[in-house]
Structures are given as C-alpha cells and as structure tokens.
Chain A
Amino acid sequence: MSDLWIRIPLTSNYAAAYAAKDVDVDVVAAYPITPQTPVVERIAEFIANGELDAEMIHVESEHSALSACIGASATGARVFTATSAQGLELMHEMLFIASGLRLPIVMAIAARALSAPINIWCDYSDLMATRDSSWITVIASSAQEVYDSIIQMYRVAEDPEVLLPAMVAYDGFIMSHTYEPVYVAKDRAPILEYVPKNFKNRYRLDPDNPITMGAIADPNWYYEFKYQQVVAMRKAYEVVKKADEEFGKRFGRSYGFVETYKVEDVDIALLTYGGLYGTVQEAVDILREKGVKVGAIKLRVFRPFPYNELFNAIKNLKHLVVLDRAITFGGVIEGPVALEIATLLKFKSLDTNLYNYIVGIGQRTVTESDIIGIVDHVSKLIEKNVVPMESIYWGVRE
C-alpha cells in the first residue's frame, strides 16, 4: 500500500467511525444501541480531540436521531448516523422521509436480530425489514470493506443523478466487535478528492433562497415523485459501479456488486452476505481438500439488486444454495435474498436449482462444519433429485 494509508487494528464499528471522520462529516446524530454504540463513542472522541470538526447532536431516540440527520442534510450538510435492530425499526418511518426528500444521508448498521424475544446478537432481520425504504443498501464482509464502502456511499448518495440515502451493514458483534487490520487514510485530503463536499448540487434549505421541503403531494402529484425515486435507484446501479471502480483506481481496493470464490469449475455454489462469507470460503477450501468441488458467492449490494452481475455469477451453475441470515415470514420461500434470486432466475430464464437454508438467526453459531453439513445435505437432495419448495431451517432443534 502507498503512503496514503496506515494499517491499524479496528473493529467494523471503529472502521465506520474512521470512515465518517475521513469524509469530514458535518453533523452526526445518533442514539446508542448495542452493538452499534462504539461507532458513536469513537466519533465523539474524534470531535472531542479535534480530529473531526462536526456537530454531534445528542437525541433521545433513534427516531429523533434520523430526524435530526434529515434536518441537517436538508441544509446541505454531510451527515452520518449509525444504528442496530430496534433502533433501525424506530427510525423506520423516517427512513422513507429521508429517501423521499432525496437526502444523501449515510448510515452504518451493525446488523442485529429483532425483538421479541430480545436478542442483541447478529442476524440481518433489521436490515431486511428496510427493503422497500428506497435506501441504497450495501452489506460488507470485512472491517476494511466497511470503511471503504462508507466512503464510496457518500460519493453515490451525493451524486446528483442519485440523491438517495445509503446504508452500509455488517454483522453485529461478529464484525462490529472483532478487530481486523484495516488501512485507514493518514490524511483525509485524498479521500475528499474522491468524495468532494458539494452542498450546492441539490435542493437545500437556505435562508437567502428559501424553498419548501416536505410539503404535501396530493394524488395528482405523489406518484410522479415516487417514480423519480424509482429512476434514481435504477441510476444508482451504474453510479455504485463507477464509484467502486474509481475507488479501485485511486486507492487499489474495489469490491464489485458480487464476489465469487472458486466458482469456475463447479456445479454447486453457496451464496451469502456479511461476515458469514468468510466462513463459507473456509468451508469451500476444506471441502475442496476432500475432493468436493463447491464455490462461494457473496452478495455485497442488496439495493439496487445487482441482477446483471449476479446473473453472470450463477448462470453456469446447476445448483445454487442461498444462506439467508433473516426470515421473511410467510414468503413463498422465507429467505429474503433467496426470494430475490428466485425472481432473478425466473426473469432471466435460468433453470438453476435454488436451495434456501436459513442460518445464524439470533447469532446461532455457524461454523465451517455447518456449511459442510449443508453441502452434504444438499448433495443428498441432488442425488434424490429433490428441490425443496420451502426454506430449510438449518440447525433448529426438533
């Protein structure tokens, strides 16, 4: 790595805080919730010791946190927040206001299971429940990816063709509280060259040039504003790609929409997202040593859903195993990502068999041996020529 970077041990929470510092955010409003709290603590430290010149707004709830962010972003400020689980649910109403007002807020999500019963550990139920909120959604698999993705998302969100908020999620605890070596910028100048601050590229509240934001749109108008959001999200597809490529060119790290691991020679691959991807890669290596040819695929961007890249990643597979870390209760299949992929298979006329395993709910441990067990299980289904028409709940006690 070049002289731009210093390599330090960081959790994904701290990596998120460093990213917010290095894009020079102006306003942070957040409310502490496990396992997100250290993000905000670290930003508070940056502000206290003068490393970041930002306004930290202390609020009484996540609803207020995102509301404060919305107000600040509406003035043209660069805004950051972070939350988890019930906090994200409490923000739910405001998620739609942020995207509907087209405010480029960036938020870190330490993904955590939803109550009840209360469970403070990792799964992606909180993130998946935001599916239709019109936020660009990235799921990172390493602390480095958290840092890089947050920086990239400011470039995407603030693009005048997009102007939608973005969230970057990572495993609660599994990633949020474990240290990894991360390259962070020694100086924020090169980062700001990549994401220049330009508060004049959008409508904003300015006393010298007053406008109204958040007015009523009656049935003659509302539909058109929602369609604008549809178009913006479609445009985001290209902008996310270009932001990642440009990041790669400048800084030597890029991620794409989808990552593949040893899929060139396989009929079966396992697809997942978040920190679990590392475990799946390990399992793939162990299986390959035993002569079982399998590959792994990581979905990095959930919204906009990368149908082209995913199509290319899976088009030659006979069997695709989707490991979902969230449940969409009552769905045709109950893994939220599997549901998206089933739609993709249908509309791209692929006859790849889809197997959906639910794993790691409420941070039920998923080890390499679980993944090996799943591959074994799916191999038996393939032998019997059975494609289950429902999700399989791996490891649930009978």
Chain B
Amino acid sequence: MSFEKKLPSWKSIPIGGAILKPGNFAERPTGDWRVFRPIINQDKCLRCLICWAICPEPAIYIIDKPYRTSSGREWKFTLEIDYNYCKGCGLCVEECPVKAIDFVEEVK
C-alpha cells in the first residue's frame, strides 16, 4: 500500500460525492487501462479524418504541423493520438480505410 499516493480523509471531501470544479475531468487521464495502443503511420495516413470523427473520447487531435511523407507528399497538418485519454477501443484502427493505424499491445 505504501506506494499509493495518500488520498484525503472522509472529513475533507465534499459530501455525497459532489464534484465542485466543473470540467475537472481534463486533469484526470483516463487512458491508463488501455491494452492495445493505436499508432498512426503518418506515411500511410491520407488525412481523411474518419478516425478523428469517430474517436469516442475524442482523443485524436488535428495538429497544425506539416508532414512530408517518404514519397515526397506534403501534408499541412498531422493527426496525433492523446494517449492520456485514448482507451484503446480500436475503432480508429478498424475504420481507417488505408489501414494506416497499427494496434500494438501495451507492454509495461
């Protein structure tokens, strides 16, 4: 038990389990139960945004970062997965029309 961080006493938490700070879920990563990790292959990716639209979290972001593929194609933006929130549901992997997302088992 000693490695667990100390949680507050029953005396100092809001009664009835009320959460007093709106939007505080942003501070709480929820991706730590993932079994498989989706990894976007930026070379293969066509930027169709299907994964971005379908991610239930949503944990796939459109990043304003140009990308040049190995075959010389220029993209103005990149898609990145936020692993703090990705739960590894695999929907993006399943739906990607060019199979550009690999699903790799998490190894700790």
Contacts and interface: CB of A to CB of B under 8 A. Distances in A.
B91 interface: no
Nearest to B10: A224
A347 interface: no
Interface in A220-266: 220-221, 224-225, 227-228, 231-232
A231 B13 CA distance: 14
Contacts of A203: 14-16, 18, 20
Contact of A228 (B7, B15, B19): B15
B6 to A, nearest CB: 11
A203 B14 CA distance: 9
A15 to B, nearest CB: 31
B10 A228 contact: yes
Contacts of A116: none
A224 B14 CA distance: 10
B18 A221 contact: no
Interface string B1-30: 000000101100111111110100000000
Contacts of B19: 211-213, 215
Given A211-B22, A220-B7, A221-B7, A102 B16 contact: yes
Contact of A224 (B9, B18, B20, B22): B9
Contacts of B13: 221, 224-225, 228
A212 to B, nearest CB: 4
Contacts of B7: 220-221
A102 B22 contact: no
A101 interface: yes
Contacts of A210: 22
Given A210-B22, A211-B22, A101 B10 contact: no
A211 B18 contact: yes
A212 B9 CA distance: 20
A212 B10 contact: no
Nearest to A160: B15
Contacts of A228: 10, 13, 15-16
A8 B17 CA distance: 44
Contacts of B17: 100-101, 213-215, 217, 221, 225
A163 interface: yes
A182 B16 CA distance: 37
Contact of B15 (A102, A214, A215, A220): A102
23 contacts: A100-B17, A102-B15, A103-B16, A163-B15, A203-B14, A210-B22, A211-B20, A213-B16, A213-B18, A214-B17, A215-B17, A215-B19, A217-B17, A220-B7, A224-B13, A225-B13, A225-B15, A225-B17, A227-B10, A228-B10, A228-B13, A228-B15, A228-B16
The list of the 3 closest CB pairs from A to B, nearest first, reads A212-B19, A224-B10, A102-B16
